[in-house]
Homo-oligomer: A and B are copies of this chain.
């Protein structure tokens, strides 16, 4: 155990801090709702030039071209968090499509799409899930038939975030209906959201916001050149994308920050003249959650060290989504209990007051327990792949390639 950093790393940390001080004025006030604002894109370009964003993407494709260095990446993340500065754009194009293209795209696809995506000039949405294909994603039925040099797509996608502002979609489409099993026969296609035949309908959720959309695809034409990876191999291609998505989940710094806010709330609120913080039943729950948040923070540091050494800790890695989403939900649940009747107040997002955010999180975080593989699916994965228990009779999802 050594929680200190090397002199070179501390020097690098100092540089990051210096950068953040110098460029305080460049931090965009608004990032934009569906599309990045001009200021956000300018900030992103600055971060790429500085080597803080798109770090490992080659310069030829518009990235920073830095060598892999997980400790430096973490130092950047930590310092940006301390300065409350956004670490560039965070979207599915950058986190999922770009790594996929780098791994499996043609040279032309890489040249065409990576740089504008990184710059925020092209915004992507994801077309994986369908109303009938949730946990059993591979049973998707949106299909494409060949017509000359094009595919013609018909079907429906769901849970599509930012579909309204997106320029492009990357999607899983069934192109080979006669494949020997459902996993084969799917292709990974990319196409413009301006294509004729695309209709986007917002999907309202329990929080009152429309965080997701349904996308209806009717005779949408896509040139065959816009397939990523092999035809019929889209399941494998998407698994490489999902692998990248998983890293996005469960930021332990965020859980600890929430805990601090919750403890402040408990100190400020009182019932019958007694601060909630002085009520042992609530305090015990708060301390329990704080211990869990600290454990997850330590767990993340352990995973970071392993990744830095090129080691994999499969079981430790697989539990993160289950534990982190549950922890967030429990923090919100305690806050709702702490606020009591007062915590029932709730408006739509525009009018939401400081305390109302907890009621929203109580619901939103339940969605996070379900989204991206439900808690039940996570437990299957932990049991079968992490602990080596025999497979369920019908597996939840085939082992990632």
Chain A interface residues (CB < 8 Å from chain B) = 279-281, 284, 393-394
A281 contacts which chain B residues (CB < 8 A)?
A: 280-281, 284
A79 to B321, CA, bound (A): 55
A393: chain B residues within 8 A (beta carbon)? 393-394
Q: In the complex, which residue of chain B has the Cβ closest to the Cβ of A279?
A: B280
What is the CB-to-nearest-CB distance from A210 to chain B, in angstroms, rounded to a whole number?
Answer: 33
Instruction: Give every chain B residue within 8 A of A284 (Cβ-Cβ).
Output: 281
Interface centre among A279, A281, A394 (most CB of B within 10 A): A281
**Whole-angstrom CA separation of A131 from B272 in the bound complex:** 59
How far apart are the CA atoms of A284 and B285 in the complex, in Å? 12
Query: In whole angstroms, how far apart are the Cα atoms of A67 and B284 in the complex?
Result: 55
**Would you give the shortest CB distance from A354 to chain B, in whole angstroms?**
28
Query: How far is the CB of A337 from the nearest CB of chain B, in Å?
Result: 12
Q: List 6 A-B contacts (CB under 8 A).
A: A279-B280, A280-B280, A280-B281, A281-B281, A281-B284, A393-B394
| C-alpha spacing A394/B392, complex, angstroms | 11
Within the complex, what minimum Cβ distance (angstroms) separates A395 from chain B?
12
B-chain residues with CB within 8 Å of residue A394 when the two chains form the complex: 393
Q: Sorted from nearest, which 7 A-B pairs have the closest CB atoms?
A: A280-B280, A281-B284, A393-B393, A280-B281, A281-B281, A279-B280, A393-B394
Nearest CB of B to A296, in Å: 23
CB distance from A105 to the nearest CB of B (A): 41
> Measured between C-beta atoms, what is the minimum distance from A73 to chain B in Å?
42
CB distance from A285 to the nearest CB of B (A): 9
Report Cα–Cα, A258/B326, bound state, in Å: 34
Q: How far is the CA of A280 from the CA of B393 in the complex (A)?
A: 47
Residues of chain B within 8 A of A279, CB atoms compared: 280
Q: How far is the CA of A393 from the CA of B391 in the complex (A)?
A: 14
Shortest Cβ gap from A221 to chain B (Å)? 41
CA distance A216 to B132 in the complex (A): 54
Complexed CA–CA distance, A281 and B280 (Å): 6
CB distance from A277 to the nearest CB of B (A): 13
Q: How far is the CA of A166 from the CA of B75 in the complex (A)?
A: 73
Interface centre among A280, A393, A394, by most chain B C-beta atoms within 10 angstroms, is A280
- The answer for the CA separation of A394 and B279 in the assembled complex, in Å, is 49
Q: How distant is the Cα of A375 from the Cα of B107 in the complex, in angstroms?
A: 57
Nearest residue in B to A280 (C-beta to C-beta)? Answer: B280
CA distance A20 to B244 in the complex (A): 75
CB neighbours (8 Å) of A280 from chain B are: 279-281
